[in-house]
Amino acid sequence: MLLPSRLGSGEKHRILFVDDDRDTCELMTVLFCDDDVRTAATAAAGLQLAKTNPFDLYLLDHWLADGSGVELCRNIRAFDHNTPIVFLSGSVYDSDYQEAMSAGATAYLGKPAELLRLQQTVFSLIRQAEINSLTALTAEISAIRESISDRLADLELQSREAGVRTNFAREKLINALAGKQELSDNAYFVFTGAGGARAQFERLWPAALDEAI
C-alpha cells in the first residue's frame, strides 16, 4: 500500500527527478502523482531546472548520459545547501554510496527500490526539512525580537538620561530665578549642554531667552 503523497498537508511538494530512463521517470510521476514532479534526462537539464525553480527534494540517478549524479549533486549543493538530495541508482557499491554522501547527498537507495520505502524516505526527508526551516525561522524571529528589545531598552535608558540632564538644567534655571539672579550665557549653555534644545529653552523660559543669549 502506498502512502498519500502529501501526508495530509494539502500542499503539493515540488520534486525534481533526474534519470535518463524514461520508464523510471514515468513511474516517479505516477508514484508521486499528487505532487509536482519535474523530470530531466541529463545532468545539464537537471541543473538548469534546479537553478531556476525551488524544489522540496531532488531525486538523482548515479549515472547520467552526460555525466554523473554525484557531480550534479555537488553543483546543486553549491547554491542549495539544505534541500534533501536522494540518490536512486542501480550502482549499489559501497564506494558509490560513499562518493554520493561525500558530495552532499542526504540518502542513497538502490534500484529497484521498494516503492513504499521510497515514498517513506522522500516524505520523511521533506517533512524534516520543513521542520528545520520552521526552527530556523523561529530562531531568526527570536533574534530579531531580542534585538528590538535591546534597542528599546537602550532608547529608554537614553531617554531617562536625557530627562535627568534636562531636569538638572531646569533646576539650575529655577534656582537662578528664585534667587533673583540674572540669566546669563552660562545658564543657557548649561541647559543646551545638558541636551536641551534652543526651542525648548524658549518655550520654558520665553522671558529669559533674550538675556541668556
CA–CA gap between residue 7 and residue 9 (Å, rounded): 6
Span 5-26, average pLDDT:
80
pLDDT exceeds 60 at position 205: no
Residues 173-189: tens digit of each pLDDT: 556 555 444 445 555 55
Work out the mean pLDDT of the chain and round it to a whole number. 79
Task: Tell me what the mean pLDDT of segment 12-26 comes to.
Answer: 94
Task: Check whether 208 has a pLDDT greater than 60.
Answer: no
Q: In CATH, what class is 14-113?
A: alpha beta
Average pLDDT for residues 125-146, to the nearest whole number? 81
pLDDT beyond 80 at 80:
yes
Is the per-residue pLDDT at 199 higher than 80?
no
Could you read off the pLDDT of 29-55 as tens digits, one per residue?
999 999 999 999 999 999 999 999 999
Band the pLDDT of 190: cuts 50, 70, 90.
low
Share of the chain above pLDDT 70, in %: 69
- The per-residue pLDDT for 41 is 95
Q: What is the DSSP letter of 56?
A: S
Q: DSSP characters for 173-204? A: HHHHHHTTPPP-HHHHHHHHHTT--HHHHHHH
pLDDT tens string 89-130: 887 788 999 999 999 999 999 887 788 999 999 999 999 988
Q: Which positions ≥6 away from 172 have C-beta within 8 Å? A: 187, 190, 191
Give pLDDT, residue 197: 53
Q: Give φ, ψ of 207 to 5 degrees.
A: -75, -25
Confidence of residue 163 (pLDDT cuts 50, 70, 90): low
Helices (H) and strands (E) in the chain, counts: 8, 7
Where are the domains positioned within the chain? 14-113, 160-212
pLDDT at res. 93? 84
Contacts with 150 (C-beta within 8 Å, 6 or more apart), sequence order: none
pTM for this predicted structure? 0.65
